[in-house]
């Protein structure tokens, strides 16, 4: 069966890669929400402060960011099949072993190493970078569709995990999820054995010699204006710093909304529903919004719009207590959040050399993962300190404003001609 697929022309096979990417991101990202839904029960079972499972959540993102650098190099050199297979096996094994955790260090090791360093590292940034190689025309559409898989994961898995937690407990829930990931993700990884040709869209995106050697590719950014100060390294650096701010803000509701709703006196299932609503709207934003805004206005302007909406709603979220308003705010936050991360790979391909897109995207996502980790830990630590998430949400808003300042500055530089597009095929 696989051999029949492999023989398909690129123009058709790329849609199999697109579907496989969405499914891998959808299934694998469930490991994040596995802990989000069980955060309060795990802390209660072991009499741990919430900062403990919150830090485990952080380690998954930090480990995924660090491991993503290696996976990005692997992708650039050998394609996506190796990272996809390693990630599938790591997430499956980590989820099964989570059932037997009894010590804090075991929880940290599982989420930092198996679920993060060799698990999550193979998902977002490699899959996003890989899909940009299969689509030149309609690239932002493809990136948005794959990104929707991550958001859809948050819409589907929390209610499922909550139902299983209530019926069989969080330990058996992790076991069943681990078995499911093994039997589904491993076969999907085989679809990445084939790499795209240089003319997959009927277009050779960068046929020039410059993109085949790094110094010449870097010089391409400065060919129209020799004194342009923004080299690829500086652009990547500013994007990396910017990603910290938006991801600190992003991770707070993602990691803590279930616990927050429960703390407000509502059933834990309502918290899982609020998270599901948030992620349904995020998937819609990624699926439709990234393709439209990114294709029409470019990645930087699209990111500014999504990040601005995320900051505004997070600030409002700090003061909302009514359940109906919680659902509404969750939906609006999802519309903003859903478009943030998928725009970074688009921006990387717009302004940085394509041959190194895998590792460059992974570097930006490393800093984003650090931001996610800091935000998740900060939410738990500030709750332990104050008994409320209000201060954490407001601090997250302040970090998000920092992201907007950086992205706004890059937009201004682009408008003045000091940032030059290398690729603008949407």
- Highest averaged pLDDT of the listed ranges 7-16, 117-126, 220-229, 345-354: 117-126
Could you tell me which residues come within 8 angstroms of residue 417 by beta carbon, excluding any fewer than 6 positions away? 224, 225
- Note the pLDDT of residue 397: 96
Confidence band, pLDDT 50/70/90 cuts, at residue 210: very low
Tokens for 419? 């940032």
Torsion of CA 146, 149, 151, 157, to 10 degrees: -170
- Cα–Cα distances (Å) from 186 to 28, 173, 178, 336, in that order, read 11, 20, 12, 32
Distance CA 115, CA 293 (A): 33
Q: Which CATH superfamily is domain 9-195+212-415 in?
A: MFS general substrate transporter like domains (1.20.1250.20)
Distance CA 341, CA 303 (A): 8
Its pTM stands at 0.74
- Note the pLDDT of residue 228: 46
Confidence band, pLDDT 50/70/90 cuts, at residue 414: confident
Distance CA 133, CA 17 (A): 11
Tell me which of 378 and 196 has the higher pLDDT.
Answer: 378
CB neighbours (10 Å) of residue 19? 15
User: Residue 221: helix, strand or coil by DSSP?
Assistant: coil
Terminal CA-to-CA distance of the chain, rounded, Å? 33
Decide if pLDDT at 206 tops 60: no
> Percent of the chain having pLDDT more than 90?
43
Decide if pLDDT at 180 tops 90: yes
Condensed to tens digits (0 to 9), the pLDDT of residues 279-299 reads: 889 988 988 888 888 888 888
Decide if pLDDT at 123 tops 70: yes
Could you tell me which residues come within 8 angstroms of residue 213 by beta carbon, excluding any fewer than 6 positions away? none
- Note the pLDDT of residue 125: 83
- Note the pLDDT of residue 182: 96
Distance CA 350, CA 148 (A): 21
Distance CA 318, CA 246 (A): 17
Distance CA 414, CA 163 (A): 49
Mean pLDDT for all residues in the chain: 85
Condensed to tens digits (0 to 9), the pLDDT of residues 213-252 reads: 444 444 444 444 344 456 778 888 999 999 999 999 999 9
Q: For 29, phi and psi rounded to 5 degrees?
A: -70, -15
- Note the pLDDT of residue 200: 55
Mean pLDDT, range 59-66, rounded to an integer: 86
Instruction: Provide Rg for the chain, Cα atoms.
Output: 21
CB neighbours (10 Å) of residue 305? 17
Tokens for 143? 């990136």
């Amino acid at each position: 069966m696989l051999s029949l697929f492999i023989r398909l022309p690129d123009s058709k096979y790329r849609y199999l890669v697109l579907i496989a990417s969405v499914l891998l991101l959808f299934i694998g990202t469930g490991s994040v929400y596995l802990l989000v839904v069980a955060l309060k029960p795990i802390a209660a079972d072991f009499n741990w402060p919430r900062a403990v499972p919150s830090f485990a959540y952080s380690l998954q993102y930090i480990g995924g960011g660090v491991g993503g650098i290696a996976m990005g190099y692997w992708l650039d050199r050998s394609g996506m099949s190796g990272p996809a297979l390693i990630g599938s096996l790591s997430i499956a094994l980590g989820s099964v072993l989570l059932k037997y955790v009894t010590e804090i260090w075991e929880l940290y090791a599982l989420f930092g190493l198996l679920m993060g360093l060799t698990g999550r590292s193979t998902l977002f940034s490699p899959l996003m970078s890989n899909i940009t190689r299969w689509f030149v025309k309609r690239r932002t559409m493809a990136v948005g569709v794959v990104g929707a898989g991550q958001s859809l994961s948050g819409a589907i898995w929390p209610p499922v995990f909550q139902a299983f937690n209530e019926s069989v407990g969080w330990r058996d829930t992790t076991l069943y999820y681990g078995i499911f990931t093994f039997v589904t993700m491993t076969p999907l990884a085989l679809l990445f054995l084939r790499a795209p040709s240089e003319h997959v869209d009927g277009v050779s995106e960068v046929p020039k010699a410059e993109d085949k050697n790094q110094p010449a590719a870097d010089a391409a950014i400065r060919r129209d204006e020799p004194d342009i100060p923004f080299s690829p390294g500086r652009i990547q650096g500013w994007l990396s710093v910017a990603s910290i701010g938006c991801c600190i803000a992003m991770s707070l509701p993602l990691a803590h909304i279930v616990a927050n709703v429960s703390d407000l006196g509502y059933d834990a299932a309502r918290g899982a529903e609020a998270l599901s609503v948030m992620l349904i709207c995020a998937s819609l934003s990624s699926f439709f919004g990234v393709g439209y805004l990114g294709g029409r206005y470019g990645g930087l302007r699209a990111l500014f719009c999504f990040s601005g909406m995320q900051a505004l709603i997070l600030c409002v979220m700090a003061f909302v207590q009514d359940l109906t308003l919680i659902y509404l705010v969750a939906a609006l936050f999802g519309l903003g959040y859903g478009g943030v991360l998928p725009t970074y790979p688009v921006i990387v391909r717009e302004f940085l050399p394509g041959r190194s897109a895998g590792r460059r995207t992974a570097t930006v996502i490393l800093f984003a993962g650090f931001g996610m980790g800091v935000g998740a830990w900060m939410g738990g630590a500030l709750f332990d300190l104050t008994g409320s998430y209000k201060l954490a949400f407001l601090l997250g808003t302040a970090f998000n404003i920092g992201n907007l300042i950086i992205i706004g500055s890059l937009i201004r530089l682009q408008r003045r001609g000091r940032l030059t597009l290398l690729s603008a095929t949407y």
